[in-house]
Amino acid sequence: MTTTTDNILKRNQLSVTDSRKKILELFTANDGALAHSDIEKKTGEKFDRVTIYRTLQTFVEKGIIHTIPTVDNSVLYALCKMDCTEGHHHDNHVHFVCDNCNVTYCLDDVVTPKVNLPDGFKPKVMDVVVSGICKNC
Amino acid sequence: MTTTTDNILKRNQLSVTDSRKKILELFTANDGALAHSDIEKKTGEKFDRVTIYRTLQTFVEKGIIHTIPTVDNSVLYALCKMDCTEGHHHDNHVHFVCDNCNVTYCLDDVVTPKVNLPDGFKPKVMDVVVSGICKNC
DNA sequence: TAGTTTTTGCAACTGGGTTGCAACACCTAT
DNA sequence: ATAGGTGTTGCAACCCAGTTGCAAAAACTA
């Protein structure tokens, strides 16, 4: 039998392993972003720290997930909803961090707004992180 | 004799020490943001790592400098141009990272734009980081 | 199912950042 | 100007996130 996560893995030329399936499932089941520690907890410490690091790394390289810049300088990962290809991300969407429940959301439908930069500055990529209260709080 | 940096320190009820003066001078002389390692290098490794960490920490607490979220998850510090007071920052301005020279600028005059969030999301603070080519490249 | 390739888990390491504490520099009041 | 108390520095030791090398164990291929 071939599940959805299996397909995603195969589509990206990745061999289908237990850890990759479980970690990918976590992302598809969750609509918020996940930190390394979240994954460690939610898998019940079943996998080695190193395995989780390497899995996340390959997922990022393949464009399956992307990293989110945070204010407190931790690394968060979230599914790429748009069709990201290897080496080229379309993650120019807005991220939202809830001050209350501390969950980070990718607001894929919210496009980043235009800003007027001073003379001589040529913009290419724009990262927007909004914090406040989320829809579930 | 009383210099500008001395005044800033005194205004914030900080005793005027060698390390604080030198580090603060670096910020006033530089219009880009600085990382811990930059300061270590530019002071010629004259001060202990710990001293630099603690100095930056107290500067942040006093509202003299603020931290900037980065994509590669390093910590950057920049002078607060607006009048930030202890515990209350007005750093809702845009940050610009140059892809070429790798310098980060605080564009204090560029106000963060409005974004339309989905129903239920209530925004409070907004962080905007633009990357591209800066005015000097 | 055997052989090759890829992935995993362990151990050891690195590097950023923090903490405790004694020595020292700074400020104040005399 | 200086003696004393307070705040700051530097060192050593530590903690934690993330990385690397390598042998064992899976996953793919034919």
Q: Is residue A101's pLDDT more than 70?
A: yes
- CA distance to A66, A71, A110, B76, B90, per residue, from B66 (Å): 26, 11, 28, 8, 9
Q: In the prediction, which pLDDT does B91 show? A: 58
Does the CB of B35 have a partner CB in chain A at under 8 Å? no
Q: Mean of the pLDDT values across residues A56-81?
A: 88
**Is B128 in CB contact (< 8 Å) with chain A?**
yes
Give the bridge partners for B60, in sequence order.
none
pLDDT at B78: 93
Query: What was the ipTM of the complex prediction?
Result: 0.80
Three-state secondary-structure class, residue A66: strand
CA of B95, closest CA in chain A: separation in Å?
A: 10
DSSP string, B79-125: E--S--BTTB----EEEEEETTT--EEEEEEEEPPP--PPTT-EEEE
How far A77 CA lies from chain B's nearest CA (Å)?
12
pLDDT at A1 over 70: no
What is the nearest CA distance from A49 to chain B, expressed in angstroms?
19
The one-letter amino acid at A115: V
A41 is near strand C: CB distance < 7 Å? no
**Alpha carbon A117 to chain centroid distance?**
28
Instruction: Please measure the distance between the N-terminal and C-terminal CA atoms of chain A and give it in whole angstroms.
Output: 39
Measure CA to C1' and name the residue nearest C19.
Answer: B50
H or E stretch covering A91: none
Cα nearest neighbour of B71 on chain A:
A69
pLDDT along chain B (137 residues), means of 10: 86 96 95 93 93 97 88 84 57 83 87 88 89 93
pLDDT score of B83: 56
Look at residue A84 in the predicted model and tell me its pLDDT.
55
Q: Which residues contact A48 (CB under 8 A, 6 or more apart)?
A: none
| All structural domains of chain A | 4-132 (1.10.10.10)
For residues B68 and B17, the answer to whether their CB atoms sit within 8 Å is no
Q: Kindly determine whether residue B69 and residue A67, on different chains, have CB atoms separated by under 8 Å.
A: no
pLDDT digits (tens, 9 = 90+) for A3-19: 789 999 999 999 999 99
N- to C-terminal Cα separation, chain B: 38
Q: What is the pLDDT of residue A54?
A: 98
Residue A54, CB, strand D, below 7 Å: yes
A9: nearest nucleotide, CA–C1' criterion: D27
For residue range A33-48, list pLDDT tens digits in order.
999 999 999 998 899 9
Three-state SS at A105: strand
Task: Give me Rg for the CA atoms of chain A.
Answer: 16
Model confidence at A121, in pLDDT bands (50, 70, 90)?
very high
